[in-house]
C-alpha cells in the first residue's frame, strides 16, 4: 500500500509537469498567466482528473465490497485498496502544493485527508468509511471548471456552473455527508475511549476538521448566492 501511495503522489507531480508543458505550448492565454496562476492552473488539472476518476472507482468498490468493514486488509478487493491508497498519495501531493501556494485552509484540508486515507490504507476497520467519503469529490469538478472558464476568458454559462457546484457541494457534503460524518465521529470517539488507539483519535480530529471546513465553505457558498440574488 505504501508503494501505491508514493506512486500516486509521483504520478500527480508528473501530470502537473506535463500540464505546464502542454499548456505552454498550445495555449496563448496560459503564457500570459502570472507564475502563481500557472502553478494553480497545473494543480487544478491534477485535482480535476482525480475528482473525475475517483467517484467511479468508489462506486465499483462499494459494488464489490459492500459497505461493511473487513477484519483484514487482504479481504478487500484491489479496487477498494486502490481508492484509499491512491487518494492518500493524491492528498500527499495536494498537501505539498497547497503549502507552497500559501493556502492555509486547503493545506489543512489536505493534511487531514492525507492522515485519514493513510490510516484507512492500513486499518481495515475504517477503510470502507474513508472510501465512501471520497464521493465528496462529486462536487469538485464544477469548481475547477468554473476557475478554468474564468481564467481562459470563456465565462459563458458561468452562473450555471456555479449553481451546479453549489448544489452538489451542499447536497453531497452537507445534506448527505455531514449526518453520516457525525455518526462516524460518534463511533470513533467511543472506539478511542474503549481502546485508546491513536489511530481513532487522529481520525476523529481529522473528521472534525473536515466537517468544520465543509460547513464553513457551505456558508460561503450560500452567502455568495444570497448576494447574487
Percent of the chain with pLDDT over 70: 97
Q: Residue 68: left if φ>0, alpha if ψ -120 to 50, beta else—which one? A: beta
pLDDT surpasses 60 at 151: yes
Choose among 12, 184, 14: nearest CA to 89. Answer: 12
Give residue-wise pLDDT tens across range 38-59.
999 999 999 999 999 999 999 9
Residue 217 backbone dihedrals phi, psi, to 5 degrees? -65, -35
pLDDT, position 128? 85
Residue 179 CA to residue 72 CA, distance in Å, equals 27
Give the total number of structural domains in the chain: 1
Choose among 46, 202, 13, 180: nearest CA to 117. Answer: 202
Rounded to an integer, the average pLDDT of 167-195 is 85
Contact 55, 132 (CB under 8 A): no
Structural domain boundaries, residue 220: 2-228
Residue 123 pLDDT class (50, 70, 90 cuts): confident
Helices 35-65 and 2-26 sit at what angle, rounded to 10 degrees?
A: 140
pLDDT, position 130? 85
Q: Is the pTM of this model over 0.75?
A: yes
Amino acid at each position: 500500500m505504501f508503494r501505491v501511495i508514493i506512486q500516486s503522489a509521483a504520478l500527480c507531480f508528473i501530470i502537473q509537469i506535463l500540464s505546464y508543458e502542454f499548456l505552454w505550448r498550445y495555449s496563448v492565454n496560459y503564457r500570459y498567466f502570472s507564475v502563481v496562476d500557472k502553478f494553480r492552473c497545473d494543480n487544478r488539472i491534477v485535482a480535476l482528473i482525480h475528482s473525475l476518476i475517483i467517484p467511479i472507482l468508489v462506486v465499483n468498490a462499494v459494488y464489490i465490497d459492500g459497505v461493511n468493514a473487513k477484519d483484514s486488509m487482504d479481504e478487500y478487493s484491489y479496487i477498494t485498496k486502490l481508492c484509499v491508497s491512491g487518494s492518500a498519495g493524491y492528498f500527499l501531493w495536494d498537501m505539498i502544493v497547497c503549502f507552497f501556494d500559501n493556502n492555509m485552509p486547503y493545506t489543512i484540508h489536505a493534511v487531514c485527508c492525507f492522515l485519514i486515507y493513510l490510516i484507512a490504507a492500513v486499518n481495515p476497520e475504517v477503510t470502507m468509511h474513508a472510501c465512501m467519503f471520497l464521493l465528496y469529490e462529486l462536487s469538485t469538478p464544477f469548481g475547477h471548471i468554473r476557475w478554468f472558464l474564468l481564467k481562459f476568458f470563456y465565462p459563458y454559462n458561468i452562473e450555471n456552473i456555479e449553481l451546479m457546484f453549489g448544489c452538489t457541494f451542499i447536497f453531497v457534503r452537507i445534506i448527505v455527508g455531514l449526518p453520516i460524518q457525525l455518526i462516524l465521529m460518534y463511533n470513533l470517539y467511543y472506539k478511542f475511549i474503549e481502546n485508546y488507539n491513536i489511530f481513532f483519535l487522529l481520525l476523529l480530529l481529522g473528521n472534525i476538521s473536515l466537517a468544520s471546513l465543509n460547513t464553513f465553505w457551505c456558508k460561503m457558498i450560500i452567502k455568495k448566492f444570497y448576494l447574487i440574488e
